[in-house]
């Protein structure tokens, strides 16, 4: 059985206990070396074989998994954050299905959740936004026609943009064109939870210059929306005048 493991955003202590136990017991480790903190592998067996998938194509990754299975070795595939978000994870599972190799998925802390944590923010502020859009810009790989950034912007929701900090100029223009005011707050978080983490805050109008000044060109998330501001309604869940399943209203 292959174990796909979400390694979390960077801080090795943000790996799940289940993920760590599997990594530490593995004979063969394939990890996404461009983003996974090598520290998450620090407890591995001395003789574990380690492969960096940054240098491998899909066939090569599957070949390593297949060989490990044939030899009765435990193989783990370590993805950054959570594999379900831009992990190119499904294509591996489908190939394993065809080969009759079983697998399991151990979720991880996605970078978008680590980003909210380091910003001390909540994405779903009552009265501001109750919807979170995770997306990316059209770069070297196209976006489906109904998911253009300009169309997604019309919802004015909390927006989290992956893989796209290199296109901030076009991104901010498109978001404004789609309906966000130029004053809408934006944060760019580089390497959330890593020792060299950087946080840049601004508005759609000025964030690009600020991010450029910090020299950030990759491994960053751009989060956009009024959730970054200070105006919102208090929740009903903890409202003393509102009854819930567990608590009666006080008047």
Closest distance of CB 38 from ligand SAH, Å = 14
C-alpha to C-alpha distance for 239 and 10, rounded to whole angstroms = 36
CB of 69 or CB of 187, closer to ligand SAH: 187
CB of 100 or CB of 215, closer to ligand SAH: 215
Which residue has the CB atom at the shortest distance from ligand SAH?
81
Closest distance of CB 64 from ligand SAH, Å = 20
C-alpha to C-alpha distance for 86 and 51, rounded to whole angstroms = 20
Closest distance of CB 229 from ligand SAH, Å = 21
Whole-Å CA distances, 11 to 14, 83, 158, 192, 197: 6, 16, 25, 8, 10
Task: Let me know the angle formed at the C-alpha of 238 by 234 and 241, rounded to the nearest 5 degrees.
Answer: 90
CB of 127 or CB of 139, closer to ligand SAH: 139
Q: Dihedral sign, CA of 117, 192, 38, 27?
A: positive
C-alpha to C-alpha distance for 28 and 44, rounded to whole angstroms = 10
DSSP β-ladder status, 185-190 and 198-203: antiparallel
Closest distance of CB 35 from ligand SAH, Å = 6
Closest distance of CB 141 from ligand SAH, Å = 12
CB of 9 or CB of 185, closer to ligand SAH: 9
CB of 69 or CB of 227, closer to ligand SAH: 227
Closest distance of CB 233 from ligand SAH, Å = 29
Q: In the complex, which residues of this chain contact ligand SAH (CB under 6 A)?
A: 9-10, 35, 79-82, 85-87, 110-111, 114-115, 162-163, 189, 191-194, 219-221
The closest of 236, 233, 227 to 157, measured between CA atoms, is: 227
C-alpha to C-alpha distance for 134 and 141, rounded to whole angstroms = 16
Would you say 174 and 150 are in contact if contact means Cβ atoms under 8 Å apart? yes
CB of 65 or CB of 220, closer to ligand SAH: 220
């Amino acid at each position: 059985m292959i174990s796909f493991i979400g390694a979390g955003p960077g801080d090795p202590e943000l790996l799940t206990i289940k993920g760590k136990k599997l990594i530490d017991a593995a004979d063969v480790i394939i990890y996404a070396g461009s983003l996974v903190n090598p520290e998450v592998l620090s407890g591995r067996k001395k003789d574990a074989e380690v492969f960096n998938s940054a240098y491998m194509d899909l066939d090569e990754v599957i070949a390593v998994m297949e060989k490990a299975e044939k030899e009765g070795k435990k193989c783990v595939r370590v993805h950054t954050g959570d594999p379900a978000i831009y992990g190119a994870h499904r294509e591996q599972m489908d190939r394993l299905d065809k080969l009759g190799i079983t697998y399991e998925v151990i979720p991880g802390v996605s970078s978008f959740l680590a980003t909210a944590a380091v910003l001390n923010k909540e994405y779903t502020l009552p009265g501001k936004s109750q919807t979170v859009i995770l997306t990316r810009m059209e770069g070297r790989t196209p976006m489906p026609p109904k998911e253009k950034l300009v169309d997604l912007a019309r919802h004015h929701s909390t927006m989290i943009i992956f893989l796209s900090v290199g296109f901030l100029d076009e991104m901010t223009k498109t978001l404004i064109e789609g309906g966000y005011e130029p004053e809408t707050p934006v944060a760019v978080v580089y390497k959330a939870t890593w020792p060299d983490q950087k946080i840049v805050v601004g508005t759609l109008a000025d964030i690009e210059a600020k991010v450029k000044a910090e020299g950030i060109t990759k491994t960053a998330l751009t989060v956009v929306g009024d959730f970054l501001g200070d105006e919102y309604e208090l929740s009903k869940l903890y409202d003393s005048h509102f009854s819930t399943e567990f608590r009666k209203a006080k008047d």
